[in-house]
Amino acid sequence: MILDYKNLLARYPWIIEEGQDCILSPDSDGLLCGLFMSHHLNWKIRGFYDGKVLIFDEGIDPRKCVFLDMEILRSGVRSVGQHMLMYDKKDLPKKWNDFSQCISANNLRDFDFKNDFKEKYPLGTIHLLAAIVGQNKKVIIKKNAVSSLLYTDGTFKNQFNYPENCLKWLDYLCADKNDNPLRSIFMDPHYSTYELMIALRDLFADINRIGGGKRGGDKIRISDSRGNPVFLRGKMFKEEITKQAESFIEMLADRTGWGFSRGSWKWGPYRIFRFKKGSIKPGKGRYQKMFSGNLLSFAIISRNSIEYTLDPQKLF
């Protein structure tokens, strides 16, 4: 079975519409998605969501934004992600239709935790986005972009740890087609194995430099472990946070050739929503019960943990 892109675009036409407002996960995958969509479709980055805190520009309705690199369980809210969501395809929760405007990699193949966890999607959201948008737009993948695109979400690790699964997903996404951007990432002979190691080493050095010698140069930290916002001075990002984020995005733009238009990236003033974050061990009863608490988003991240976000005050 391969992905029917024509049917997908007919079902989710908004994914290739120009000028959409979007909200990103604040890690390398989310930032790559924002850079890619702003360059190819002039999308505007209006905020960030990390599962504990949602920040967005004053004057916009986040429910009208497209959420990238996460799945939002809200009827009519559009999102794109790559996490495992389904526990048992034969016993779906009553609220499952609230994902009707969510493009989720594992849901596209009807993959669930009970039967398909070992075959779950092994790439990043940026790879799924590039493959979809590449059906309608010319997407060029430069040689210098490959290391960044293999680094995000540990894709290069998954290639070597789980080659059978990665190959199956590349077949499903039609990566061998000449007009599919994934061909340039995974199939064209850009690098020998040795050259790829050098390219990744250089990328790690850039990330380390951007982070000032500390971990985290490839993401924007917007909350602490307790869900408290940690980045703001008033309603704006602290200057040092904005500077680091822009340095990382500029580095990605230089490597990919996807233009970094500062006018497309809004750094405040923000409104802030705080949510209740939790985790449970996978189990049918616990999974079904999770949906009774005004669930906003979640992901089955391992065989031992489901992380979820509740919105008990119905802020969103």
- Given a contact cutoff of 8 angstroms between Cβ atoms, the answer to whether 124 and 153 are in contact is yes
Give residue 102's pLDDT band: very low, low, confident or very high (50, 70, 90): very high
pLDDT value at 173 more than 90: yes
* Whole-number Å distance between alpha carbons of 258 and 38: 8
pLDDT value at 116 more than 70: yes
Work out the average pLDDT over 182-192.
Answer: 90
pLDDT digit string, tens, across residues 196-249:
999 999 999 999 999 998 888 999 988 887 777 776 666 777 888 889 999 999
- Per the prediction, the chain carries an average pLDDT of 94
Q: How many Cβ atoms from other residues are within 10 Å of residue 141's Cβ?
A: 21
- For residue 261, the model assigns a pLDDT of 92
- For residue 157, the model assigns a pLDDT of 95
- For residue 302, the model assigns a pLDDT of 96
pLDDT value at 266 more than 80: yes
* Peptide linkage before 93 cis (omega within 30 of 0): no
pLDDT value at 82 more than 80: yes
- For residue 234, the model assigns a pLDDT of 66
The residues spanned by each domain of the chain are 5-11+20-310
- For residue 184, the model assigns a pLDDT of 95
* Cα distances (Å, whole numbers) of residue 191 to 47, 159, 199: 35, 15, 9
- For residue 129, the model assigns a pLDDT of 98
Which one is predicted more confidently, 106 or 226?
Answer: 106
Going 123 to 129 to 130 to 132, the CA torsion angle's sign is positive
Which one is predicted more confidently, 90 or 242?
Answer: 90
- For residue 108, the model assigns a pLDDT of 98
- For residue 232, the model assigns a pLDDT of 64
pTM, rounded to two decimals: 0.96
Look up residue 101 and give its two tokens: 């405007």
Work out the average pLDDT over 14-21.
Answer: 98
- For residue 236, the model assigns a pLDDT of 76
Strand 66-68 to 21-24 pairing: parallel
Work out the average pLDDT over 60-87.
Answer: 97
pLDDT value at 314 more than 90: no
Strand 53-57 to 270-274 pairing: antiparallel
Task: State percent of the chain over pLDDT 90.
Answer: 83
